[in-house]
């Protein structure tokens, strides 16, 4: 009886001592797919891949945004080379104001819907977070991407620029450095028109209108 | 009395020889391609002004025709006042002399800078230009190296002939900087393309010091990110450094004569801290380990400045 009790105690002690170590080394689990019922039904109806439908929906929403952007650009001062920097800023501000007015009721998630956000997190996971076999190029690249993202965050704090407010239609602060987006991340994300770009702010992914300098929408905690 | 005179004379001779040793030693041949390189400039502070002043003074001796800017051209805001204070005023003597500036975007630059005519970016985030026959520059946006830009680069490199190919952008693929270090994610994308196409020289900034990297896969890499900002003692000891200087503000002057590219790195006080030559070997077929137009080891003294040990 005593022997059994001793074995149980030893077993519990082993489990307790190994648990924190395992928790420290384990990479976060990949995000589980979260596809809406409507998309699932549509996929079944069309015999299509639900993920493909999610990406098609993203494209449709980006196209709708670009229609607004192009419409606003028609009435804004033209973007052209100039010796007068005031004209550049005026064109940017005017375009930003027109897009904001046209999207006055826009809110977070209008473009990056919950299922699109989930898809993006799933796309980002293998590029940045998932464990790669030791000694492979993948491991090194992931390490470099993580370092780069960490460095971007640190630099933004060091340089003392204004914090980036994660809010649809917010201006990206002029005095805040733009974090580089690792090429490996860009290659795995859906392509954007040249007027838009992806930037990673801490763990969040934003879509920024380059010409209007505004945040179009974002994915909170895109990096797990 | 005679001894004193002799002593003074000797001092004079020494002073003159020291001055001569620090003077520009580029070939300064007529018809050569002459340019300057500045990086991380747009502060508008006294250090930018001091480097700008020295740059203008250097041009009196070495008449460079254009200036390459490797990014962080305008720190902080992007109002008209910012452009004036951080670019137009410091470089006014050069702009008045019709010296062209060609800018690349840094992480502190608003991409709308590409519309500022004096930056000669033709409204593009990445572009190419050919200042003379036999030399082509490729300005890249290393902040956002997407598929579109890489495709463009591949096309441009493929159509470029047997010219000097010089790429310039902000983030250094190789660096011994303690703050940033080598940007390996960028290097993974660019280096194979550079090697395949025979890019000879890469000019970058971002790190606030001067560093000449030992040629990597036949390509000469320079970092000139201390033309207004400085991180003193930031160069760590690595195998990469051919020459490092992290105790003063610098810019570079470069001259291309045939298959030779001569360079000198100069401080805001006019002291020359590095000089040498990159020699281009004639066109050869590329192999996995050799570029199409390899450079041989750069000349100049490969002496390191005191720097921090690797942590």
Which of the pair, B153 or A201, is modelled with greater confidence? B153
Mean pLDDT by 10 residues, chain A (224 residues): 51 46 60 92 93 97 98 91 95 96 96 96 85 61 74 70 87 84 90 94 93 96 84
Helix (H) or strand (E) holding A95: helix A85-102
Question: CB-based contact (8 Å) between A80 and chain B?
Answer: yes
Q: What is the dihedral of CA B60, B62, B64, B68, to 10 degrees?
A: -100
Residue B13 pLDDT: 47
Residue B31: pLDDT band with limits 50, 70, 90:
very high
Pairwise CB contact (< 8 Å): A86 & B171: no
Mean pLDDT of B126-139: 96
Scanning every residue of chain A, which has its alpha carbon at the shortest distance from the alpha carbon of B82?
Answer: A85
Conformation bin of residue A40: beta by default, left when phi > 0, alpha when psi is -120 to 50: alpha
B87-126 per-residue burial string, b: 16 or more CB within 10 A, e: under 16: beebbeebbeeebbbbbbbbbbbbbbbbbbebbbbeeebb
Residues 6+ apart with CB under 8 A from A6: none
Question: Which residues face B177 on adjacent strands?
Answer: B235
Which of the pair, B296 or A141, is modelled with greater confidence? A141
Closest alpha carbon to A214 in A77, A78, A110, A94: A94
Strands (E), chain B: 33-38, 66-69, 100-103, 127-132, 135-139, 164-168, 201-204, 210-216, 219-224, 241-245, 250-257, 260-267, 272-279
- Rounded Cα gap, residues B28 and B38, in angstroms: 20
**Min Cα separation A109/chain B (Å):** 24
Strands (E), A143-203: 196-201
Residue B299: pLDDT band with limits 50, 70, 90:
low
3-state secondary structure of A122: helix
Is-contact B107 B208, C-beta < 8 A?
A: no
3-state secondary structure of B213: strand
Least confident of A141-155, A202-216, B5-19, B151-165: B5-19
Helix (H) or strand (E) holding B70: none
Closest alpha carbon to B35 in B285, B221, B297, B255: B255
Question: Which residues face B35 on adjacent strands?
Answer: B66, B254
**What does pTM read for this prediction?**
0.85
Residue with tokens 């859906």: A190
Q: List CB contacts (< 8 A) between A127 and chain B.
A: none
Determine the residue among A139, A179, A180, A193 to mutate to test chain B binding: the one whose Cβ has the most chain B Cβ atoms within 10 Å.
A180
Q: What is the mean pLDDT of chain B?
A: 88
Cα–chain-centroid distance for residue B247?
17
Question: Which residues face B216 on adjacent strands?
Answer: B219
Residue A79 pLDDT: 87
If you compute the radius of gyration of chain A from its CA atoms, what whole number of angstroms results? 23
Note the pLDDT tens digit of each residue in B179-237: 888 998 899 999 999 999 999 999 999 999 999 999 999 999 999 999 999 999 999 98
Residue B108 dihedral angles phi and psi, to the nearest 5°: -95, 5
Q: List CB contacts (< 8 A) between B123 and chain A.
A: 79-81
**Range A129-134, long-range pairs (CB < 8 A, 24+ positions):** A129/A27, A129/A28, A129/A30, A129/A223, A129/A224, A130/A27, A130/A30, A131/A27
Residue B214 pLDDT: 94
Strand order in the sheet with B66-69: B100-103, B66-69, B33-38, B250-257, B260-267, B272-279
Pairwise CB contact (< 8 Å): B112 & A84: no
Determine the residue among B83, B96, B107 to mutate to test chain A binding: the one whose Cβ has the most chain A Cβ atoms within 10 Å.
B107
Which of B78, B148, B171 faces A180 most closely, judged by CB atoms?
Answer: B171
| Residue B12 reports pLDDT greater than 70 | no
Residue B97 pLDDT: 98
Residue with tokens 């028609």: A74
Which of A84, A92, A141 faces B112 most closely, judged by CB atoms?
Answer: A92
**Min Cα separation A25/chain B (Å):** 24
- Rounded Cα gap, residues B121 and B99, in angstroms: 15
Residue A20 pLDDT: 45
**Min Cα separation B205/chain A (Å):** 14
Both tokens assigned to B230: 């400085």
Residue B113 pLDDT: 96
Closest alpha carbon to B140 in B161, B101, B167, B110: B167
Pairwise CB contact (< 8 Å): B145 & A186: yes
Q: List CB contacts (< 8 A) between A141 and chain B.
A: 184-185, 188
Both tokens assigned to B207: 């790190």
Residue A5 pLDDT: 59
Closest alpha carbon to B266 in B256, B255, B274, B277: B274
By a Cβ cutoff of 8 Å, what residues of chain B touch chain A?
Answer: 75-80, 82-84, 107-113, 115-118, 122-123, 142-148, 150, 171, 180, 183-186, 188-189
Pairwise CB contact (< 8 Å): A85 & B79: yes
Q: List CB contacts (< 8 A) between A197 and chain B.
A: 144, 146
Report ipTM for this prediction.
Answer: 0.83
Residue B293 pLDDT: 57
Residue B184 pLDDT: 87
Residue with tokens 């790669």: A132
**Min Cα separation A195/chain B (Å):** 11
Percent of chain B with pLDDT over 90: 73
Which of B84, B111, B188 faces A141 most closely, judged by CB atoms?
Answer: B188
Question: CB-based contact (8 Å) between A141 and chain B?
Answer: yes
Determine the residue among A88, A152, A154 to mutate to test chain B binding: the one whose Cβ has the most chain B Cβ atoms within 10 Å.
A88
Note the pLDDT tens digit of each residue in B91-123: 999 999 999 999 999 999 999 999 999 999 999
């Amino acid at each position: 009886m005593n022997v059994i009790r001793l074995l149980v105690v030893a077993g519990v002690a082993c489990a307790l001592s190994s648990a924190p170590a395992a928790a420290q080394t384990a990479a976060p689990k990949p995000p589980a797919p979260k596809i809406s019922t409507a998309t699932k039904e549509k996929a079944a109806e069309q015999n299509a891949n639900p993920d493909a439908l999610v990406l098609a929906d993203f494209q449709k929403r980006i196209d709708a945004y670009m229609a607004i952007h192009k419409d606003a650009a028609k009435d804004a001062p033209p973007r052209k080379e100039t010796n007068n920097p005031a004209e550049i800023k005026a064109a940017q501000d005017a375009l930003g104001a027109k897009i904001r007015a046209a999207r006055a009721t826009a809110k977070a998630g209008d473009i990056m819907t919950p299922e699109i956000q989930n898809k993006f997190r799933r796309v980002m996971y293998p590029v940045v977070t998932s464990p790669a076999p030791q000694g492979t190029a993948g491991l090194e690249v992931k390490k470099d991407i993580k370092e780069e993202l960490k460095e971007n965050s640190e630099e933004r704090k060091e340089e003392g620029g204004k914090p980036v407010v994660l809010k649809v239609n917010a201006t990206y602060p002029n005095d805040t450095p733009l974090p580089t987006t690792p090429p490996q991340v860009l290659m795995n994300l859906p392509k954007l028109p040249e007027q838009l770009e992806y930037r990673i702010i801490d763990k969040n992914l934003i879509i920024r209108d380059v010409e209007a300098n505004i945040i179009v929408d974002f994915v909170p905690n895109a990096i797990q | 009395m005679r001894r004193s005179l002799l002593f003074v004379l000797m001092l004079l001779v020494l002073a003159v020889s020291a001055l001569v040793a620090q003077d520009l030693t580029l070939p300064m041949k007529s018809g050569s391609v002459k340019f300057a390189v500045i990086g991380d400039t747009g502060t508008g502070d006294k250090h930018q002004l001091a480097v700008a002043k020295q740059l203008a003074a250097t041009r009196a001796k070495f008449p460079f025709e254009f200036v390459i800017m490797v990014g962080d051209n305008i720190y902080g805001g992007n109002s008209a006042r910012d452009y004036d204070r951080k670019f137009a005023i410091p470089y006014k003597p050069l702009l008045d002399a019709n010296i062209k500036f060609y800018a690349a975007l840094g992480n502190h630059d608003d991409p709308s800078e590409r519309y500022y005519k004096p930056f000669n970016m033709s409204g593009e985030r990445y572009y190419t230009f050919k200042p003379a026959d036999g030399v082509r520059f490729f300005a890249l946006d290393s902040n956002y190296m997407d598929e579109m830009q890489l495709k463009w680069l591949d096309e441009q490199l493929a159509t470029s002939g047997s010219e000097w190919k010089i790429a310039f952008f902000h983030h250094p693929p190789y660096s011994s900087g303690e703050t940033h270090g080598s940007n390996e994610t960028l290097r993974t994308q660019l280096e194979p393309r550079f090697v395949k196409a025979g890019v000879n020289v890469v000019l970058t900034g971002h790190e606030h010091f001067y560093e000449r990297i030992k040629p990597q896969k036949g390509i000469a890499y320079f970092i000139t990110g201390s033309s207004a900002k400085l991180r003193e003692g930031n160069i760590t000891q690595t195998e990469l450094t051919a020459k490092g200087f992290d105790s003063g503000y610098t810019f570079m002057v470069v001259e291309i004569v045939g298959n030779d590219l001569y360079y000198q790195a100069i401080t805001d006080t006019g002291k020359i801290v590095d000089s040498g030559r990159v020699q281009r070997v004639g066109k050869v077929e590329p192999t996995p380990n050799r570029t199409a137009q390899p450079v041989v080891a750069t000349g100049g003294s490969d002496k390191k400045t005191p720097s921090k040990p690797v942590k």
